[in-house]
Amino acid sequence: MGGPAPPPEQTAFLDGIQRYAVEGRFGLVPVVRGYVAAAALRREGDRLRLAEHEAEEMIVVPLERISPGQRQALADTGIPLLDCEAGERAHPVVDVQLAARAVERRREELEVAVATALLRSEPDSWLVVDGGLGGLTHLLGSAPRVLGLIKSHETQFLDGPDLEVAVTLPEGHRSSVFARRVGGRGSVYTWYLRLWSWEDRDLLHGLVRIERPATDAALAEATAVSRWLLAERAPLSAPDGRWDRLLYPIRQVETFLRAQVGGWW
């Protein structure tokens, strides 16, 4: 495959964060304060500069479970209300989990909004997204240079000898490209890439999976893309515990977002 290669000049990196905390209760109904944000940083020379940023704070509560007076009291805080799913019956733990899922969905929506805004304003830019492309199916046909970088491997798309080859790749090697369906409406090409050697470490150490819209260019450029992603390993993302799978520019997006959180962090 060859070693690391210089990345494209016009490249941006996207990530998002979410926070939530139980601020109070109406009886058994939790009142959850949430915060979500997403940003894209664009490389300009040897620096990363802000290209797009969205952030929201909210109060998350199952509106069907509170009275009009309680709803008005929450509205009087000036913080937007976000309705969330209510379980079949009130449960102090399950209801918090349902609120947390609503916060997560809103963070995903913000990431999609930031990606959409950047790619519409800069259609020729490369965009590396932290995570898969499932939420960006509406862009797959018009944004051939968007990449998803997946750091976790709970879901396996290969089996048998193909899986063994993928998870035992040496450092600086990639697997063959294969297709997978996303969102029920489209497909992506995907492949595994070993950023760092796994010898004497966990089998998944340094292993990431790359997704890209299913185009002829994606097949032709898989090696070239893998080589410049290898270059993004430096500087190291240490001391983050995910340093072996976390590209430094993505870590810088996280650092920027955390700096905006204030008392939430």
pLDDT for res 264:
60
Number of residues assigned to the chain = 265
Q: What pTM was estimated for this model as a whole?
A: 0.91
* Rounded Cα distance, 54 and 159, in Å: 39
> Per-residue pLDDT tens for 139-178?
777 788 999 999 999 988 999 999 999 999 999 999 999 9
Q: Which residues contact 76 (CB under 8 A, 6 or more apart)?
A: none
Alpha helices (runs of H) in 134-247, residue ranges in sequence order: 160-167, 216-220, 222-231
What order do you get walking across the sheet with 126-130 strand by strand? 81-83, 47-61, 29-44, 11-26, 126-130, 146-150, 207-213, 186-194, 178-182
pLDDT for res 141:
78
Residue 260 C-beta-side C-alpha neighbours within 13 Å = 20
DSSP 8-state secondary structure symbol assigned to residue 170: P
- Residue 265's SS3 state is coil
* Rounded Cα distance, 14 and 76, in Å: 34
pLDDT for res 15:
97
pLDDT for res 99:
96
* Rounded Cα distance, 218 and 62, in Å: 44
Q: Give the phi and the psi of residue 11 in degrees, each rounded to 5.
A: -135, 140
pLDDT for res 118:
94
Helices and strands (DSSP H and E) totals, the chain: 6, 9
Question: CA 230 from chain center: how many Å?
Answer: 19
Domains of the chain, earliest start first? 11-264 (3.30.2170)
Q: Which amino acid is at 31?
A: V
Q: Give the phi and the psi of residue 38 in degrees, each rounded to 5.
A: -145, 150
pLDDT for res 142:
79
* Rounded Cα distance, 34 and 224, in Å: 40
pLDDT for res 261:
85
Residue segments in the chain with a per-residue pLDDT below the cut of 50: none
Q: Give the phi and the psi of residue 23 in degrees, each rounded to 5.
A: -95, -15
